[in-house]
Chain A
C-alpha cells in the first residue's frame, strides 16, 4: 500500500501540461486500449460499416463498445507516439530554456 500510495502521490503531483504529463496521457491510453483489446471489443468495430454487433443483447451497447474501441485504437496508434515524441521535444525545450536563464 505504501508504494502504491507513493506512486499515486507522484502521479497526482505531475503537471498535466508537462513532458511527464504527456507521458502519463500516453500511458493511460495504452492501458485502456490494452484492456479493451483483451476484453475482445475489437469485434464490435463492425459498426463502422453499418453492421453493429449486440453486446449483452443490446445493439446500442455494441455500438458504444465499438466506437470506444475505434477511438482508442486510433488514439493508441496515432496519439500515443505523438505524445511520446512531444514529451521528448518538450523536455529538451524546457532544459534549453532553463539553461539560457540559468
Chain B
C-alpha cells in the first residue's frame, strides 16, 4: 500500500501539514547545497591557456554557421535588433575578436576565421556607411544634443577600430591599415576635446565601456603600426583615477557627461569589459579594478557564481544592459555574462568555475549540428561567452610586442 493513501491510518490534517512543511524545509536544506554538483562541469572544456577548448569550438561553430547561412543570420539579427540595435553591433565585435583569437590558437582554422571576420567587418562598414550613425544605436540617440560636432559615436568608432585591429593582428590587410589609422585619429581628436579625455557614445553620454574599448583599439594600433600614443593612454588612466572613479567602491563609473559629471555609478555590464580592455593599457590599474569588481559585484552562492549589476551602495532600476535582475540576489544576466570575460582575463579560476556552473544550470545549453548555443541567451550573449573562452592570444601578443608570432 502506498504511504499516505486513504487506506492508511488517517493522520489529522494539521499534523500532516506540519510534517509536510518540515519535510520540505529539511529537503530544501539538503538539496540546495548539493545542486551545484550536478551542474559543475570541467572548466577545461571551456577555458584553456593554449589550444581550443572543445566547448569553445562548438560555440564558434554555431557563430560561423550563422555568418555563412544568410537566412539564419538575418533571422537572428532581426530578433536582436527588435530589442536593441546595439546588440547586433556588439555581437559582431565580440565575434570578430573571438575569431581573431581562435585563428591564433588554432592555425588550421585561420582561413575560415579570416573569411568570417572579413565578412562581418565588410558588412558592418557597409551598414555604417549606408544607414548612418544611428543604425547601431538605441533610438534615444536621436533625441538629445551631441556636445561634440559633428555627431559621432565612440561606441561605433571604438568597436570598429578594435575589429580592424584584431583582424590585422591575425593577418595584415592593406586597406584596413588606412581605415584603422583614420578611425584612431578621429577617436583621439574627439576624446582630447573632453576634460576627462572621453568621447560621447550617445548625446552628452560617455560610457566607460566604449572609452576603454577605444583605448584598447588605440593600443593595438600602436602595436601594429609602430605609432606611440602612450602619453594619451597614460593621461586617460590618470584622469580616470581622478575624475571617473566612484568614491565608495573605487570602481570606474559606467557613464558620465563630456565634462566628467557622473551619470550612472559602477555597473557590472560595463566594468568587466573595462577591466579586460584596460589590461593592455595599464595592467596594474586593470587588475585593481578587477579585484574591486570581484569584491563589489562578484558573488558565489551554493556553488553558483553570478555578478550583480550594481554594488550594494548604488541602487538603479534594471535596464536593457542589466537584463532582468533576479530579486534578492541581485544577479544580472548581462553583468554575469561579461563577468566571464573579466574572470577569464585575470585567470580567476574559482569564479570562472562557479560562473560556468550557473551557465549550465540556467543558460539552457542546446547542441545542434555540432554547434552549441544557450537558449536563455542570444547571439551577443553567446558571442561574449565565446570571446571569454578564447581571449588571450591577441592581448598577449600586444603585451609581448610580437607580430604574427615573431618578435617585433
Interface SS of chain A: helix
Q: Are B361 and A94 in contact (CB under 8 A)?
A: no
Nearest A residue to B6, CB-CB:
A13
B312 contacts chain A at the CB level, 8 A cutoff: no
Identify which of A17, A19, A46, A91 contacts B376 (C-beta below 8 A). A46
Contacts of B19 in A (CB 8 A): 90, 93-94, 97
- Residue-by-residue, is B13-45 near A (CB-CB < 8 Å gives 1, otherwise 0)? 101110110111011101110010010000000
Q: Are A82 and B323 in contact (CB under 8 A)?
A: no
Number of residue pairs spanning A and B whose beta carbons lie under 8 angstroms apart: 117
A98 contacts chain B at the CB level, 8 A cutoff: yes
Q: Are B366 and A85 in contact (CB under 8 A)?
A: no
The interface stretch among B78-86, B103-111, B193-201, B241-249 is B78-86
Q: Are B333 and A49 in contact (CB under 8 A)?
A: yes
Q: Are B375 and A45 in contact (CB under 8 A)?
A: yes
Q: Are B5 and A22 in contact (CB under 8 A)?
A: no
- State in angstroms the CA–CA spacing of A89 and B13 once bound together: 17
- State in angstroms the CA–CA spacing of A51 and B162 once bound together: 26
A63 contacts chain B at the CB level, 8 A cutoff: no
For chain A, the count of residues having a C-beta within 8 Å of the partner chain is: 40
Contacts of A95 in B (CB 8 A): 3
Shortest C-beta distance, B284 to chain A (Å), equals 34
Contacts of B7 in A (CB 8 A): 13
Most chain A CB within a 10 A radius of its CB, from B6, B19, B32:
B19
A48 contacts chain B at the CB level, 8 A cutoff: yes
Q: Are A14 and B4 in contact (CB under 8 A)?
A: yes
Give B residues with C-beta under 8 Å from A. Answer: 2-7, 9, 11, 13, 15-17, 19-20, 22-24, 26-28, 30-32, 35, 38, 79-80, 83-84, 320, 323-324, 333, 361, 364, 366, 375-378, 381
Closest 4 CB pairs of A and B: A18-B4, A85-B27, A86-B27, A20-B4
Kindly list 12 other residue pairs between chains A and B, CB separation below 8 angstroms, not including A43-B366, A78-B31.
A15-B16, A18-B5, A22-B20, A45-B375, A45-B376, A46-B376, A51-B80, A78-B32, A81-B35, A83-B27, A85-B26, A87-B23
Can you list 15 A-B pairs, Cβ within 8 angstroms, ordered by A? A13-B5, A15-B4, A15-B16, A18-B20, A21-B4, A43-B366, A51-B83, A52-B79, A53-B79, A81-B31, A82-B24, A82-B27, A85-B27, A85-B31, A97-B19
